[in-house]
Structure 1
Amino acid sequence: MIVGIDLGTTHSLIGCYDETGPRLFANALGEFLTPSVVSVDEAGQVIVGQPARDRLVSHPQRSVASFKRWMGTSRETRLGTHGFRPEELSALILRSLLSDAEAALGEKVDEAVISVPAYFSDAQRKATRAAGELAGIRVERLINEPTAAALAYGLREQSDGARFLVFDLGGGTFDVSVLEMFEGVVEVHASAGDNFLGGEDFLDLLEQTCRADLKLADDTLDASQRGQLRRRLEVAKRTLGSEGHARIEFALGDRQLDWRIDEERFNRLADPLVQRMRAPLERAMRDARLKPEQLDEIVLVGGASRMPLVARTVSRMFGRLPLRHVNPDQAIALGACIAAGLKSRDQRLDEIILTDVCPYSLGTEVARRDEQGRAVTGFFEPVIQRNSTVPVSREETFWPVHERQQQVQLDVYQGESPLVEKNIKLGELTVDIDPTLSITENAVTVRFTYDINGVLQVEARVHASDRRYELLLEQNPGLLDAQQIRERLAALNDLKIHPRGKHENLAMLARAERLYEEHLDARDQLQEWIARFRTALESQDEAVIREHRREFGRALDTLESA
């Protein structure tokens, strides 16, 4: 069985394509959205999703979120006695999603299409594939998030030649893609974005403003108190969009803090973030060689796109209202489900060819002559330009810098800077040449081939000898190799991960513990409720547990809404 997965910064979703169309699977709590949060309790058990999100407040040192931003790096997060890389944390989210899917389907899931930001680098894409492998599935394809959103909106059914722009502002990443539909092909013309811009940055802005207004220094709040504050600010951010103003009350020791903000001030403070959104939009349109009036539709997706200032920014730039009729939190996941159906050749779907583009330029280091004829090294020469449709193969011819040179070093880089020092080095290839030949006779033709799975092949042919050299860039510095993946997989398999059947009970206790942190005046009552629920759990009687869980939930709802 092949499923579609949206592995998001703040939330993740899973589904499939069946006779009813794209279908999402609910988790044990009955929600489609599973928070991308991991926590480890005192017994060493791994907790994922909503209970882990609640533990961000009650147990901040043992919980972590927003780790999607670290994909492709070797950063390690310590939770209790365990150290986790970003791939492993993502794998734990994937395992939880797969458990939900298998519970809904009644069969094993072994393949998946996973969405990734269009602007994800090679390293980040390979890390996502590694996360799938650690979770025990084969990643059939990585689909760019804007492309998935286009599928969800049914833009594949548009008339030939229709052009549309997908604006995707999620919790931690921002993507924009320009696509065209032509004769059954959804072709991506250009992608741009910012891997460190999303809803979390707007929340950070609210936190900084609130703390400045209330004169709360960095050392004023401990990790738990900061978690409580951010939770209230998250609610305030949503309230600003619907009511135009928001207020939070916050207890800090014996101080009762009260803070208010209106939408006008928030929009003014958020202007630098809005300007960061404009740059990728303009770049994508410039790369696609289109003017705003040449677009047929503009689509907003991603939870953070709900903010009114986002829709206003896009409307002003393009002179029209964007489409938002598909739930922005679900659009990418629904598109991934359709892509999974296409991958499995579901007969209910018309054959659609999805193209992607290379999000970064790929090239090598070259030297250039200055006015005195001296060779100056360190310049970047693109072989494959960004936004080239993949698979793509391009070649360029280079010559040695000096006479009697014995070797040519081909350093492979990814990036957009004219200087290699500001780009990312992917690998190197050393080519032997004949030192007795002249510079012009020692030509070397270099071919870069980049496929849809993010694998880059570099081939070099020495003209004089016809010798050929090859470099296959499947790994990146900081990424796990095959042996490390096997070792990490074995370690993950040994972890005690709560079974799906207990998830709703864990979530209830985690929520109660979080409210205990937040409500000083209700602590005695909460302890009494927790003790009563724990007694019900000890009975191991599902009917008793279910009834107590309903009562417990209603009580917590009342407390939280008070």
Structure 2
Amino acid sequence: MIIGIDLGTTNSAAGVWRDGKVELIPNSLGAVLTPSAVGLDDDGALLVGLAARERRSTHPQLTATTFKRYMGTTRATQLGRQSYQPEELSALVLARLKADAEAYLGEPVTEAVITVPAYFNDKQRKATRRAGELAGLKVERLLNEPTAAALAYGIHELADETRFLVFDLGGGTFDVSVLEIFEGVIEVRASTGDNRLGGEDFNRLLVDRLRAAHREALGADAMNEALTTRLEAAAEKARRALTQAERAEMAVTWKDRTHTIEITTEDFEAAAAPLLAKLKEPVSRALRDGGLGPNDLKEIILVGGATRMPLVRRTVTRMFGRFPSTAVHPDEAVVAGAAIQAGLKSRDAALKDVVMTDVCPYSLGVDVAEPGPMGSMRTGIFSPVIERNTVVPASRAKIFGTLQNNQRKVIFGIYQGEARMVADNVRLGEVEIPVPPGKAGEVAVECRFSYDVNGLIEIDVLVPQTNERRQLVIVDEDDQRSSDLEQRRAALAALKVHPRDTDANRAAIARAQRCYELFLGETREHVGALLSQFEGVLEGQDPRQIEIARQQLLTALDALEGESFL
């Protein structure tokens, strides 16, 4: 069985193409969205999803979130005594989605289409693929998130030639893609974005605002990690409230004192002006790279939870001089598109054949030298071989010459990026090849880059004069250590994980504990009594009584702080 997965910064989800339609797969709590959060319980057992996220403000040292932002890096997160790489944390989320899918579908799930931000570079894509493998999945394809959203919108079913722009602002990443459909072909004309821009950055504005308002009262604790996690949770709640109201209160309790500020939509938009300005450049670049103007687009499609913010929708409306489309569910469009792609992979008869092309999101090239002033040589210059937004699969070649008389070898550093200097781009590898002696510039070396739909990069270097050839396939170091991959997979599988049927109870307890710390006085005592009562029912081990008590607890908490959100 093959499923589609949206591995998100804030939330993740899984879906399947079955009986001629997309089915979104519920988790053990009955929700479609699973928070991308991993944590440890008090007994050291693993928590994934809502229960982990609810403990983030009360147990920050035992909880990890937003780790998608660090995919492809060596940044480690310490949870208790164990250290985890970003792809290992992502693998734990993927493993939970896999288990939920198997429980829902009643059969093993072995393959997946996993979505990635269109602007993910080679290292980030390989880390995502590795996360899938660590979770026990064969990753059939990495699908760009805006392309998945376009499939969910239904442009694969349109017959007329049309062009769309997908504006995808999620919790931690921002993508823009321009797509064109003609004669059953969906072609991505251009993709760009910002991997460090999303709803979390708008939350941070509110966090900074409350800190500034209560700097004296908070004193040295203003940057305390535990306080920061509480501030971030309060900011998320306030930001969501501002999508439906003109003003919202943001409150946080710290050391038995409650600190509050009131935020209006005008205040929020003024504070967010620099972030809103950052949304414009990727849009302009995507249109410029695609050779299109705003009037050439039939529709602007909004995707991603952060596009619910009225200030973002107003910004998009001003950019294009018209209202964007909100026809697709902002949180579910990407996973729905991944499920459709999974259906296409399995060649489901209910899906008509569609050809999808994508683009290389970054330029690929080598480091070269060029003459400088007074006979000097400037080194470390980036020379693109495949330009960004080239339709893939693609193969391009460039001819280079030797730098010095009687040079014996040429070394090409392989880079990915857009900067003029290779030091500011991502280094992917190196190719060395011997050359025959000769005058500088007279010995030619052909360097060919090939790039496929899954982001596999192959470099072929040829010296025509001697027919000497060197080839390099860009493979991540971790991919080469298959035994290490198996060991890591076994280590993750050996972690103590709570049974799925206890998830709801653990999430309820985690939420009640968070509320206990959030409130003061009689309200705190009331929450403590509710929690003790529920824990007493749990000890009785009567499933029916536990179900009733849990619903009573959640209803009481909803009355105190509003409904829980995903």
TM-score scaled by length of structure 1 = 0.96
**What one-letter code is carried by the residue in structure 1 that aligns with 2:361?**
P
Residue equivalent to 2:362: 360
Q: Which runs of 4+ in 1 moved over 4 A?
A: none
Measure, in 2, the Cα distance between the counterparts of 1:465 and 1:251: 74
Q: Give the drift of 1:232.
A: 2.1
- CA gap of 1:410–1:23, structure 2 versus 1, over 3 A, is same
Q: Give the drift of 1:282.
A: 0.5
For residue 241 of structure 1, give the secondary structure of its aligned residue in structure 2: coil
- CA gap of 1:444–1:494, structure 2 versus 1, over 3 A, is same
Measure, in 2, the Cα distance between the counterparts of 1:217 and 1:115: 43
Work out whether residues 188 and 357 of structure 2, in 8 Å CA contact, stay in contact via their aligned partners in 1. yes
Q: Deviations over 1:337-386 (max 9, x none)?
A: 11111111110001111111111100011111235444322111100000
Q: Give the drift of 1:217.
A: 4.7
**What one-letter code is carried by the residue in structure 1 that aligns with 2:482?**
A
Measure, in 2, the Cα distance between the counterparts of 1:439 and 1:275: 48
Q: Deviations over 1:91-117 (max 9, x none)?
A: 111111111111111111010001100
Map 1:164-175; keep pairs closer than 5 Å.
164-175=164-175
Q: Give the drift of 1:560.
A: 2.7
For residue 118 of structure 1, give the secondary structure of its aligned residue in structure 2: coil
Work out whether residues 34 and 50 of structure 2, in 8 Å CA contact, stay in contact via their aligned partners in 1. yes
Q: Which moved more, 1:549-558 or 1:45-54?
A: 549-558
Q: Which moved more, 1:444-453 or 1:534-543?
A: 534-543
- Does 1:18 find its partner at 2:18? yes
Q: Give the drift of 1:285.
A: 0.5
Work out whether residues 211 and 222 of structure 2, in 8 Å CA contact, stay in contact via their aligned partners in 1. no
Q: Deviations over 1:3-45 (max 9, x none)?
A: 0100000000111001151110111211111110111123221
Residue equivalent to 2:292: 290
Residue equivalent to 2:458: 457
- Does 1:207 find its partner at 2:207? yes
Residue equivalent to 1:273: 275
Count residues in correspondence.
560
Q: Which moved more, 1:221-230 or 1:298-307?
A: 221-230
Work out whether residues 475 and 481 of structure 1, in 8 Å CA contact, stay in contact via their aligned partners in 2. no
Q: Give the drift of 1:536.
A: 2.6
Measure, in 2, the Cα distance between the counterparts of 1:218 and 1:392: 55
- CA gap of 1:218–1:291, structure 2 versus 1, over 3 A, is farther
Measure, in 1, the Cα distance between the counterparts of 2:557 and 2:224: 25
Q: Which moved more, 1:382-391 or 1:481-490?
A: 481-490
Residue equivalent to 1:306: 308
Measure, in 2, the Cα distance between the counterparts of 1:233 and 1:3: 34
- CA gap of 1:527–1:463, structure 2 versus 1, over 3 A, is same
Measure, in 2, the Cα distance between the counterparts of 1:250 and 1:440: 67
- CA gap of 1:42–1:257, structure 2 versus 1, over 3 A, is closer
Work out whether residues 221 and 227 of structure 2, in 8 Å CA contact, stay in contact via their aligned partners in 1. no
Residue equivalent to 2:525: 524
- CA gap of 1:427–1:519, structure 2 versus 1, over 3 A, is same
Residue equivalent to 1:144: 144
Q: Give the drift of 1:499.
A: 1.7
Measure, in 2, the Cα distance between the counterparts of 1:222 and 1:409: 48
Q: Give the drift of 1:332.
A: 0.6
- Does 1:388 find its partner at 2:390? yes
Query: What is the percent sequence identity of the aligned residues?
Result: 49
Residue equivalent to 1:548: 549
- Does 1:242 find its partner at 2:247? no
Residue equivalent to 2:372: 370
Q: Deviations over 1:433-489 (max 9, x none)?
A: 112x3345421111111111111111111111111111111216x878423211211
Q: Give the drift of 1:238.
A: 1.5
- CA gap of 1:409–1:166, structure 2 versus 1, over 3 A, is same
Q: 1:232 aligns with which of 228, 231, 234?
A: 234
Measure, in 2, the Cα distance between the counterparts of 1:352 and 1:99: 30
Unaligned runs of 5+ residues in structure 1 are none
For residue 57 of structure 2, give the secondary structure of its aligned residue in structure 1: helix
- Does 1:443 find its partner at 2:462? no
Residue equivalent to 2:400: 398
Residue equivalent to 1:490: 490
Residue equivalent to 1:344: 346
For residue 427 of structure 2, give the secondary structure of its aligned residue in structure 1: strand
Unaligned runs of 5+ residues in structure 2 are none
Residue equivalent to 2:162: 162
For residue 235 of structure 1, give the secondary structure of its aligned residue in structure 2: helix
For residue 159 of structure 2, give the secondary structure of its aligned residue in structure 1: coil
Work out whether residues 404 and 439 of structure 2, in 8 Å CA contact, stay in contact via their aligned partners in 1. no
- CA gap of 1:558–1:315, structure 2 versus 1, over 3 A, is closer
Q: Which moved more, 1:336-345 or 1:362-371?
A: 362-371
Q: Deviations over 1:206-225 (max 9, x none)?
A: 11112112224562364333
Q: Give the drift of 1:69.
A: 0.2
Q: Give the drift of 1:535.
A: 3.0
Q: Give the drift of 1:258.
A: 2.8
Measure, in 2, the Cα distance between the counterparts of 1:560 and 1:241: 17
Measure, in 2, the Cα distance between the counterparts of 1:84 and 1:191: 31
Q: Pairwise CA RMSD of aligned residues?
A: 1.7
Work out whether residues 313 and 324 of structure 2, in 8 Å CA contact, stay in contact via their aligned partners in 1. yes
Measure, in 2, the Cα distance between the counterparts of 1:78 and 1:121: 25
For residue 342 of structure 2, give the secondary structure of its aligned residue in structure 1: helix
